[in-house]
Amino acid sequence: MKNNFCTIYIARHGQTEWNAKGKIQGHTDSPLTKEGVAQAKNLAHELKDIKFDAAYSSDLLRAKKTAEIVALHHQLIVQTKETLRERNFGPLEGQNKDGLVLLEQLRDQKIPYETKNIESDEKMIERVILFLRELAIAYPGKTVLVVSHGGILRTLLVHLGFVTFEKINKLSVGNTSYIKIESDGVDFFIKETKRIEMQQEI
């Protein structure tokens, strides 16, 4: 890693009650389950030897709680940012099977999400990339923890060329999965992924 590159670990939060029920969350919050808390503690153990210089999370409680569990070992205060929130799913938030089917149909047919008052990929990735660029410039040569959401990780992986848009529905992004990237504020390089897998075709 070049000295001016910032290393960023971007993780998904632990399991929530709505995750367990298969409900669409978006900006609506749902608390971590006992399993979600255990996952966050496991992530903290997994990253215990990483020297983090700062910790950030989405301002949604599921991400903030996960980040606090990981940051506790490093004696860091978690700074929350609205720009790290999950996609705004609008009227679909709280829905389960029917809402998920509609989302897949919209994506497969490449119908703009805005037609259903859902935040677009473009708007979501724009706010996330802007934050990551600012982070990289603010912490050159440092390592930063960021806890966000599954939709953020998926869209970021498409944006960075890890997976194509056409295959995004086959990408499994588990709770507390993470991406390790390096950036100088201009370019981004994926160095590692954890608990992110392409599902096999049946």
Residues carrying an active site annotation = 13, 86
Q: Are 158 and 22 in contact (CB under 8 A)?
A: no
Alpha carbon distance 80, 3 (integer Å): 26
Q: Give the C-alpha separation, 67 to 80, whole Å.
A: 10
Give percent helix, percent strand, percent coil of the chain, each to the nearest 5. Answer: 45, 25, 35
Compute CA distances 131 → 84, 107, 128, whole Å.
Answer: 8, 25, 5
Task: Give the single-character DSSP code of 26.
Answer: T
